[in-house]
Structure 1
Amino acid sequence: MTTDLRYLVLTAMLTAALWIPYIVCQVRTNGPLEPKNYADPTLPRPVPAWGQRANRAYLNAIEVFAPFAALVIVAQLAGKANATTALCAASFFYLRLAHAVVYLAGIPYVRTILFTLAFVVEVVIFWEVTR
């Protein structure tokens, strides 16, 4: 497996696991779901701010995963994967991991910087694929 694909897999697993802190917060705050919650999922189950941040970190990870995955896969299929795309794929994973931690912790400004750097990394992969 190439470095690019390894970090794509790691990013997929990170994204897939980011629901866990939100659910832990839900259960700790509101207890387990009851039959009425399944019948009407719009019933309010408020959570503290860290739980809301956990949910947003998860949703944000889902939103940015598809473009990253597409770029890495196209780089592989087009034979454009190289040391630069490998470094970018690794950077994306670690930036997104840091983003999730910072988002959960509620640290202002750093989250935006990490998000922007991860986008820049995607642009570099795009550049490598299209040149």
Structure 2
Amino acid sequence: MTIAYWCVFAAAILPYIFTAIAKIGAPGFSNRRVRECQDKLEGWRKRAHWAHQNGHEAFPPFAAGVIIAHLVGAKQQTIDILAVTFVVFRIVYGICYLTDKPTLRSLAWAVPFISMIALFFIG
């Protein structure tokens, strides 16, 4: 399996890490009414939940970009670099969300977005 495919796996798992951060130890959290409890989260836990949601939004085009880049025969090293960049900056994005750094978060969002777009055009 290529590094880029491993990055697809990492990007698929990442949102669940952020939701675990949001939920584990949250006061009054009930797994019976998860969505209700998530709506009541505050502070960094609420932002971790938002990072979770955004991770699910970012995943499909990234995964498609990696697969398409492979299918059109793009240079493997380039695909891998773009995929690793995507994952690393998605982690940075999540950390910026948790620590309430909105300007840095926007910059950290832009890098993986550009990486994802590039995957569609490198072949």
User: TM-score interval w.r.t. the shorter chain?
Assistant: 0.7 to 0.9
Once residues 104 and 54 of structure 1 are traced to their aligned partners in structure 2, the CA distance between those partners, rounded to angstroms, is: 6
Give the gaps of 5 or more residues in structure 1.
none
Give the gaps of 5 or more residues in structure 2.
none
Instruction: Tell me the TM-score normalized by structure 2.
Output: 0.86
Given that 2:38 and 2:46 are in contact with CA atoms closer than 8 Å, whether structure 1 keeps it comes out as: no
Change (3 A) 1:29 1:93: same
Give percent identity, aligned residues only: 24
Once residues 45 and 38 of structure 2 are traced to their aligned partners in structure 1, the CA distance between those partners, rounded to angstroms, is: 14
Given that 2:85 and 2:112 are in contact with CA atoms closer than 8 Å, whether structure 1 keeps it comes out as: yes
Structure with max Cα Rg? 1
Change (3 A) 1:45 1:87: closer
Instruction: Tell me the TM-score normalized by structure 1.
Output: 0.81
Change (3 A) 1:105 1:90: same
Give the structure 1 partner of residue 117 of structure 2.
123
Give the structure 1 partner of residue 97 of structure 2.
103
Deviating 4+ runs (over 4 angstroms): 41-45
CA-atom RMSD in angstroms? 2.2
Give the structure 2 partner of residue 4 of structure 1.
4
